[in-house]
Structure 1
Amino acid sequence: MGETFLLEVRNLLRGPGATVADVADRGLDHGAYVPLKAMYPDADVPVLQLSMPTLQPRALMDIGRKLAPLREEGVLIIGSGFFTHNLRAMTTDDEQVYPFTAEFDDWGRETLAARDLDALLDFEHKAPAAKFAHPRADHFAPLFVSLGAGENDLDALRTVIDGYWFGMARRSIQLG
């Protein structure tokens, strides 16, 4: 990763607790590695993985807003997680899912289609079975960085992947 790019990211994220460092020997987290392996199997693109300093949706959306100018430079911003993520609700059949998983996924699909950011940001109180769908929000939280970065393209928001994988909703959206 080039020092100029790291400096640019550091400047965009400027503020309390905003530390940007290139730790080349760390490797990628599975949340970054898995989708990138599918998208770029030859690993021929530079990648800068950012750790999320919080799981608070509004703070993560603000981080996405700060990163939005990078999109104008051709930088792909990916918020990778799972639309539902409860390992105790995993199944061996992608057609068989727990009702709370389907309810949360349906709510998310409808809420995204309505572009209701306020409801999404308050998903823990607004979504059905949020605590069951996400006992911990770390897999849903990257959505907010992506929504913040692509906020100006909400009209172009579309679902590009849906369905289930081992009983977990794998809904993926694209902005722009």
Structure 2
Amino acid sequence: MSMPSIFVSHGAPTLILTDAPARTFLAGLGQQIPRPTAIVAVSAHWDTDVPAVSLVRRPDTIHDFYGFPEALYKLRYDAPGAPALAEKVAKLTGAAHDHHRGLDHGAWVPAMLAWPEADIPIFQLSVQPALGPAHHIALGRKLASLREEGVLVMGSGSAIHNLRALVRNEDASEPEPWAQAFDDWMADTLEKGDELALADYRASAPFAREAHPTDEHLLPLHVAYGAAGEGARGRALHRSFTLGNLSMAAYTFD
């Protein structure tokens, strides 16, 4: 079985408690793609200087946020880790070993929605914001062979992530033109499989600085794209906005 790789926008941690189109999409994701043998989660919320991989046997649920409803802090995602596969990923990528890292909300929120039984092994691979998109495409490409083992590489970040541009308390508000333009560019670029434009999105995409003041929430997309192998193309699984300009787009690559 050749598994596609995917990118999902995980939004605010409260997505899991919110009635929103993106939550509905993620809750049905497990039925849209083949069942993975294991999941390599590449979250925007674990950044390191060099790649690192978690070898924890029973990953903790990390509540890496503050000031949210108490119900959110009571949630636990008790899926097993996959130390042997994590070791293989470390060898493929040259990643350092981390024996303590659990699952941050970029990993467990979409996983809990898509696979609520928590019976698929999952572990994290970090991003390196200082090294840029091309590095992350190359990092993902080192994982391409895992597709034949049914392993899902799941990038989790945000298709647009500018916290200053959010429209608070207005989930249904329309995105501003700059946000729509960037989101449309990304969908079109991925559909074409234009790797050069994707790697140099800051120069190629309209309103790139407004959409991503920093890179970390888009880099998981680059890893997922790379993991689909040479000549990959993307297809939108879901597109919506929340809080005005926060794109919740999700893509599959093969």
Normalised TM-score (structure 2): 0.63
Aligned partner (choices 32, 55, 76) of residue 152 of structure 2: 76
Q: For residue 12 of structure 1, what is the amino acid of its counterpart?
A: L
The Cα shift of 1:45 comes to: 1.1
Q: Are the counterparts in 2 of residues 85 and 139 from structure 1 also a CA contact under 8 Å?
A: yes
Larger proportion of strand: 2
The equivalent residue for 1:30 is 105
Aligned-partner Cα distance in 2 for 1:135–1:160: 25
The Cα shift of 1:107 comes to: 1.0
The Cα shift of 1:94 comes to: 2.9
Aligned-partner Cα distance in 2 for 1:134–1:6: 30
Secondary structure, aligned partner of 1:173: strand
The Cα shift of 1:148 comes to: 0.6
Choose 129-138 or 48-57, whichever is displaced more: 48-57
CA 84–171 in structure 1, closer or farther in 2 if over 3 Å, else same:
same
The equivalent residue for 2:224 is 146
Which consecutive aligned stretches of 4+ in structure 1 deviate over 4 angstroms post-superposition? Answer: none
Secondary structure, aligned partner of 1:110: helix
Q: For residue 84 of structure 2, what is the amino acid of its counterpart?
A: T
Larger proportion of helix: 1
Q: Are the counterparts in 2 of residues 9 and 20 from structure 1 also a CA contact under 8 Å?
A: no
Matches within 5 A, 1:150-165: 150-152=228-230, 154-155=232-233, 157-165=234-242
Secondary structure, aligned partner of 1:9: helix
Q: Are the counterparts in 1 of residues 133 and 222 from structure 2 also a CA contact under 8 Å?
A: yes
Unaligned runs of 5+ in 1: none
Aligned partner (choices 205, 212, 216) of residue 134 of structure 1: 212
Q: Are the counterparts in 1 of residues 193 and 231 from structure 2 also a CA contact under 8 Å?
A: no
The equivalent residue for 1:99 is 177
Q: For residue 122 of structure 2, what is the amino acid of its counterpart?
A: V
CA 153–43 in structure 1, closer or farther in 2 if over 3 Å, else same:
farther
Unaligned runs of 5+ in 2: 1-80
Secondary structure, aligned partner of 2:127: coil
Q: Are the counterparts in 1 of residues 236 and 252 from structure 2 also a CA contact under 8 Å?
A: yes
The percent of aligned pairs where both chains have the same amino acid is 39
Q: Are the counterparts in 2 of residues 124 and 131 from structure 1 also a CA contact under 8 Å?
A: yes
What is the aligned length?
170
Aligned-partner Cα distance in 1 for 2:204–2:154: 25
The equivalent residue for 1:40 is 115
CA 3–47 in structure 1, closer or farther in 2 if over 3 Å, else same:
closer
Aligned-partner Cα distance in 2 for 1:29–1:2: 16
The Cα shift of 1:7 comes to: 2.4
Aligned-partner Cα distance in 1 for 2:206–2:112: 32
Aligned-partner Cα distance in 2 for 1:22–1:47: 14
C-alpha distance after superposition, 1:91-128 (max 9, x if no partner): 21434212211111011111112211111111111111
RMSD of the TM alignment (CA)?
Answer: 1.7
